Amino acid sequence: MAIPITVLGAGSFGTCLAILCAHDHDVRIWARDSALAEALNRERRNPNYLSEVRIPENVRATADLEEALTGSELVICAVPSHGVRDVMSRAAPVLPDGALVVSTVKGLELGSWMRMEQVLQDVLAPAHHARFVFLSGPSFAKEVAAGQPTAVTLACRQESFAISVQASISRPWFRCYSATDVVGVEIGGALKNVVAIAVGICDGLGLGHNARAGVMTRGLREITRLGAALGADPMTFLGLAGMGDLVLTCTSDLSRNRRVGLALGGGQKLDEIVGAMSEVAEGVRTTTAACVLARRHKIEMPIAEAVQRVLEGEIGVEGAVNQLMSRQLRNENE
């Protein structure tokens, strides 16, 4: 059954989800920039992201949050993690009662170190909290928009709402699985970006496939260790939002976070790398948050800590590799 859907955020993932949902639903997409909203409506393409893909006629862009949200039954938040608090605080007064709120954000909030569920709980009324759904998994926007087969996870503490979203946005090429482990799905989606930076550094240094596999495997161990300390089910990290997203992000050059690592391994400076990117590499911010949470919960995350030291300029990439490889020998399960 067709329902009115709103997508908040006109970046690559917001644009691809608007195109995806428009196959069965009328969609409004909110852009922060009014000029971009006008261009989307006029040209039927996003000039900044996925410009090769036509935007269907039943997608309407606006820079007015109230216009975007009025009457919506499904609201998809697809803005960078650092913008979620501001955008959803502004959306709160006009968010329709009973609307399902889907977060596609793979990051942690700097300063508060909150997951997106916690940020949403902070800024939206309690009546909305049960209807928060979190989408994660291996899903590059370019491939979703092109109709290439993709599988993702939708997590909600009350699974019936995840199943409702599942029924609304699944397509023959976009398969959604439901889950209830919100913490695990969010932590997996956020922290795989940190590991992708580490893998990119190794590849940028030309350290070989053995190193890549080792960092991915030990990185997954770190993600699982922290996730479990925060209350996640360790099995979640063997699924789409864990290992699935980790493999994709660490091995494809479409990954922004991997590209940051590759450039660091190639000798470039972080400011130059980030300044040249048109979209946010969430792992740069998430690394700091991950290390803070690890210390708070007395969890060892040596790969994340090494990435943080590189990002902050405390150590060079070769020094970080040497530091990791010379750590005290121990049992693999520690």
Residues 91 and 128 in one domain: yes
- Give the Cα separation of 334 and 329 in Å (integer): 10
Q: Does residue 263 register a pLDDT over 90?
A: yes
Residues 142 and 47 in one domain: yes
Output the pLDDT for position 130: 98
pLDDT (tens digit, 9 = 90+) per residue, 285-317? 999 999 999 999 999 999 999 999 999 999 999
pLDDT band at 125 (very low <50, low <70, confident <90, very high): very high
- Pick the closest to residue 17 from 190, 145, 138 (CA basis): 145
Helical (H) or strand (E) element with 286: helix 282-296
Specify whether 173 is located in the same domain as 205: no
* Same domain, residue pair 10 and 93: yes
Predicted local distance difference test score (pLDDT) of residue 292:
97
C-alpha torsion angle, residues 324, 330, 331, 334 (rounded to 10): -70
Mean residue pLDDT of the chain comes to 96
Residues 137/143, Cβ–Cβ less than 8 Å: no
Q: How confident is the model at residue 1 (pLDDT cuts 50, 70, 90)?
A: confident
Instruction: Look at residues 176, 323, 167, 199 and name the one whose alpha carbon lies nearest to residue 264.
Output: 199
Same structural domain for residues 217 and 317? yes
Range of the domain at 108: 5-180
Domain boundary among 180, 210, 230: 180
Average pLDDT over residues 185-207: 97
Domain boundary among 120, 146, 180: 180
Same domain, 131 and 269: no
Whether 185 is in a domain gets the answer no
pTM above 0.85, yes or no: yes
Residue 316 and residue 197 share a domain = yes
Q: What is the CATH number of the domain that holds 265?
A: 1.10.1040.10
* Strand ordering across the sheet containing 59-62: 59-62, 27-30, 5-8, 74-77, 100-103, 132-136, 150-155, 174-179
Provide the number of structural domains found in the chain.
2
pLDDT of residue 333: 87
Q: Is the pLDDT of residue 196 over 90?
A: yes
How large is the average pLDDT for residues 52-79?
97
Structure tokens at 141: 């926007």
pLDDT band at 123 (very low <50, low <70, confident <90, very high): very high
Percent of the chain with pLDDT over 90: 96
Report the catalytic residues. 192
Structure tokens at 153: 């996870």
